[in-house]
Structure 1
Amino acid sequence: MLPSRFLAVATLLLSLPLQALAATDSIVLGMGCFWGAEKRMSAIPGVLDVESGYAGGDAERAGYRDVLNLEKRIQRGRTDERNHAEVVKVTFDPEQVSLERVLIGFWENHDPTQGDRQGNDIGSNYRSAIYYNSDTQRDAALATRDAYQQALSEAGYGAITTEIAPLRNYNRAETYHQDYLKKNPNGYCGLGGTNVAYPGTVPGDGQQLASAQAPEQLEASDLNRERQLIVFEAEDCPFCKQFRAEVLDHWSSDIPVISTLNPRPPQGWELEKALFATPTMVLFEDGEEVSRYTGYKGDKERFWKWLGFQILTPAQQRIAFEQGTERAFTGSHLDEKRPGVFVDPITGAPLFRSDTKFESGTGWPSFFNPVEGALTYHEDRSHGMRRTEVRSASSGIHLGHVFDDGPPPTGKRYCINGNVLSFVPDSQ
């Protein structure tokens, strides 16, 4: 016999008018990792609930580990079983939002041309998919696919690879996957798709006729083709804002930098692979990607180290990142006497003014006073000695050591490797 509370719920449901029971609809969509998909689809007005799950595979029951383990066997050629895709079950009120609008949100918020992958998430479990529960949903899926394919083709993208099939074997994902980005705001930010608008709409807002242009693609003529850093951002990405506040807003490096909300590089420039998260910093040389740094969580020193390995010579890298030392009288700037400032070779941050430089006779550039806040100090017990190492505060690279045998007024001698200094003369 059913408990009284279940009988009460059943009685209530039976008493409701038929139209009230059918007031909502749902459709299951695969857009790669379901964390970002859940966040994106939840933002559509009229969507009542978005649930992460697994669907489209042969197994009636499956969880996260089951899907991952099966994908490994598939990649090794040990099974021909169809795996589930990570999906979101989108429940919506048809009186508030149309099925077409929900599907437009699906198309615009991921790249449906990538096959068994989404960005750097590779495998059939990350495939693009629409799993319908009615002929009406199937017809809408096919019609919106054909319309969006035209827009993608005009933008230079390939064929849509989205699987469109009846829903089967849906499994709700584990509780810790539900509302993941709400519970874990440090999760990565998706790029929001290809940035190609569904015909007649603004990207990400399929309810409005296009009244504004998508973020413009960068113009190659405005950039430094020889070497250029491009920061790919997204509007609703908190880590993009953090990177801008901590790094971009204080940029003084010799490397030219520009940021963009458009996930495509300038016309004629080439990315090595698709972008999958923001911020992504890509270094281009001669219009081709040579390296990238994806994501940012306040790890400023790690970012500068990445950039340093791209722009410093092997000899400079040995000093900067391995606490190496150039041989006496062989480094740069030993005889530099012009008015100006010596700066960090990666960040461009000022380290020493030339009027604090003096002839020490040691064979290394020597200074009696750094720019305020430019250095950090660290105990160094290497080589059987006890010394004070100095590093650049902006990038964390090793510069040299400080000793107590310098001239007045400080009595300090900052003994610095000239090869990890850049010099900027004062403007005349």
Structure 2
Amino acid sequence: MSKVEFKKVVVAYSGGLDTSVIIPWLKENYGCEVVAFVADVGQGEDELVGIEEKAIASGASECHVVDLKEELVADYIYPTLKTGALYEGKYLLGTSMARPIIAKAQVEVARKVGADALAHGCTGKGNDQVRFEGAFAALAPDLHVIAPWREWDLVSREECLDYLAERNIPCSASLTKIYSRDANSWHISTEGGVLESTWNAPNDDCWAWTIDPEKAPDAAEYVTLKVEKGAVVAVDGQAMTPYNTLVYLNDKGVKHGIGRIDIVENRLVGMKSRGCYETPGGTIMMEALRAVEQLVLDKTSFEFREELGLKASHLVYDGRWFTPLCRSILAASEELAQDVNGEVVIKLYKGQATATQKRSENSLYSEEFATFGEDDVYDQSHAGGFIRLYSLSSRIRALNEAKK
């Protein structure tokens, strides 16, 4: 079947096998010029070395590498942290939070080079196709989107390697790929291999960053985080940018095996998937922020923040960052965070990050008021009337039942 021809397509390029195949495939099937776009989200220098040359060798007319590291942490990760978002109670949304900024930058490159289409290498089974295309729809509804994995008939790594070999396009990928991994400065995910059976325990190869907690140092390490308006602004007395804060805490967390989870999650497209995720610095940050919230937020405010976190986790996971609802939730969490200021000491030990000391000038906790001794603000005899009014509906219901 003939395809619509495009003048210029910007493809999200990683340098891996799939996207190396996508570039020549687009040229052959759509008769277009292909521009490669690479997002530097802190996945590591090894992933970026020589990537422009690889893209050109695959057939791209040009390659744009865009540094998004600081913006990712400051404008996407930190705001999400303020909501307290944890997808299905465990996942710190490492892959999910990176997708909207990558999609936004890809659209910006497309506008810059005058492209009339966008392309991505997401499979037809995963969440990322929805996240990218949902962002494209919100930011550039006029640009066509090409998803090769939903169109081509290549079904194996061997076929992809043969495709490149037939065209004399160099590729360093091997025939077998045991695990599928995605990394950025916030986390790394590992899927596939032994993890495809939920009865298989993860082996050492399933963890790419963190040391096995059982092999972590026997001596605990302590880090002190300063929090202002729900954001970590300094660690161990040193002010840092959001990205540098994350890098510093990642280095600390990796050594102590912090931030490992093995989860079976519900994908947006309906199937379940299993993955081993490592978020060392993020786990430390989350523990610190929640510790300050415990001091500062009253009961109903904290309850509302929990509701925001639950809703935000699904919005971010489902690729709905660029929506009015997401903006509203982020605005609400930003307002709640205005008084979330304080200092927290986190103990790092054998895979656990635990807040051991916390203080805030806005703390609602008072040793004077919480004591069982005498104080000036609470008369224990007043509790009886409060309880009688608080339980009035239960009392009336019980009296009605007795009459029956």
TM-score, scaled to structure 2: 0.28
**Greater relative contact order, per chain length (Cα 8 Å cut-off, separation 6+):** 2
- Which structure has greater helix proportion? 2
Which structure would you say has the larger Rg? 1
TM-score (normalised: structure 1): 0.27
